[in-house]
Amino acid sequence: AQSVTQPDIHITVSEGASLELRCNYSYGATPYLFWYVQSPGQGLQLLLKYFSGDTLVQGIKGFEAEFKRSQSSFNLRKPSVHWSDAAEYFCAVGSYGKLTFGQGTILTVHP
Amino acid sequence: DGGITQSPKYLFRKEGQNVTLSCEQNLNHDAMYWYRQDPGQGLRLIYYSQIVNDFQKGDIAEGYSVSREKKESFPLTVTSAQKNPTAFYLCASSTQTDSYEQYFGPGTRLTVT
């Protein structure tokens, strides 16, 4: 069965600093990979997705993620974080029409 | 504006009572999903439905029930058999051809005491 691990429960960065959120997956075939973001008390919004092709994918709000098959990773990055990026971020893998989510990483942004 | 509506935002119930959470979408999506979110555990799939009058159990269906009588609506009932019902419940929908791009509602926080 597929699984997703987000090793960092909570990350704190300063506004303007770069950001990398880690995601590792376990899946037998070529994975469909996703990053979702959740503002406090709200639903989730899709940031970006990887199905195939170029391993560096661009998403909304200036985020990007890189798929590395050799490391079973799909890390999310942003070159310069804004205070409005404070939220919880979820990595997910898709199979058989369903999503399996990681535990989430809470991002705190200091001014 | 198209979207997903979940009501109410906060729900309080006494232990032993069944409670139904509402989920309505006007996105014309065929597929709908219910997730449970607990701190530090991510989202876990409870039930999903890919078409009207049909639904499948997810990973944690015990103690829950659903119905899908209309395309727009997918209510979730939390029964008294659910041992730890207090949680944040999220409803989502998608097209059948792009089931991984899910659109989420704002959630219902259920507290059972």
Give residue-wise pLDDT tens across range B5-57: 999 999 999 999 999 999 999 999 999 999 999 988 899 999 999 999 999 99
Task: Look at residue B97 and tell me whether its pLDDT is greater than 90.
Answer: no
Task: Look at residue A60 and tell me whether its pLDDT is greater than 90.
Answer: yes
**In the predicted model, what is the mean pLDDT of chain B?**
94
Residues of B in contact with A99 (CB under 8 A): 43, 45, 100, 102
Average pLDDT (A79-101) is 94
Q: Does B97 touch chain A (CB under 8 A)?
A: no
User: Quick one: pLDDT band at residue A58, thresholds 50, 70, 90?
Assistant: very high
The reported pLDDT for the residue numbered B1 is 63
The reported pLDDT for the residue numbered A1 is 78
**CA nearest A47: which of A60, A65, A28?**
A60
Contact B101 A41 (CB under 8 A): no
CB within 8 Å of B34: residues ≥ 6 apart: B23, B45, B46, B47, B48, B58, B64, B66, B74, B76, B89, B90, B91, B92
Task: Look at residue A30 and tell me whether its pLDDT is greater than 90.
Answer: no
Strands of chain B, DSSP E: 4-7, 10-13, 19-25, 31-37, 43-51, 54-57, 64-66, 76-78, 87-94, 103-104, 108-112
**CB-nearest partner of B48 from A4, A42, A98:** A98
Q: Distance between CA atoms of B84 and B63, rounded to whole angstroms? A: 9
Residues of A in contact with B2 (CB under 8 A): none
Tokens of A30: 């070529």
Task: Look at residue A28 and tell me whether its pLDDT is greater than 80.
Answer: no
B window 45-84, beta carbon within 8 A of A: 45, 48, 50, 58
Listed range (A67-71, A93-97, B88-92) with the worst mean pLDDT: A93-97
User: Quick one: pLDDT band at residue A68, thresholds 50, 70, 90?
Assistant: very high
Average pLDDT (B101-108) is 94
Are the C-beta atoms of residues A106 and A12 closer than 8 Å to each other? no
**CB-nearest partner of B106 from A34, A43, A97:** A43
SS3 A70: helix
The reported pLDDT for the residue numbered B73 is 98
The reported pLDDT for the residue numbered A89 is 98
SS3 A71: helix
CB within 8 Å of A96: residues ≥ 6 apart: none
Q: Distance between CA atoms of B102 and B12, rounded to whole angstroms? A: 27
Q: Distance between CA atoms of B112 and A52, rounded to whole angstroms? A: 44
Task: Look at residue B100 and tell me whether its pLDDT is greater than 80.
Answer: yes
**CA nearest A81: which of A28, A29, A25, A13?**
A13
Q: Distance between CA atoms of A96 and A72, rounded to whole angstroms? A: 19
Rg (CA), chain A: 13
Task: Look at residue A14 and tell me whether its pLDDT is greater than 90.
Answer: yes
**CB-nearest partner of B104 from A9, A43, A49:** A43
Average pLDDT (A48-63) is 94
The reported pLDDT for the residue numbered B26 is 96
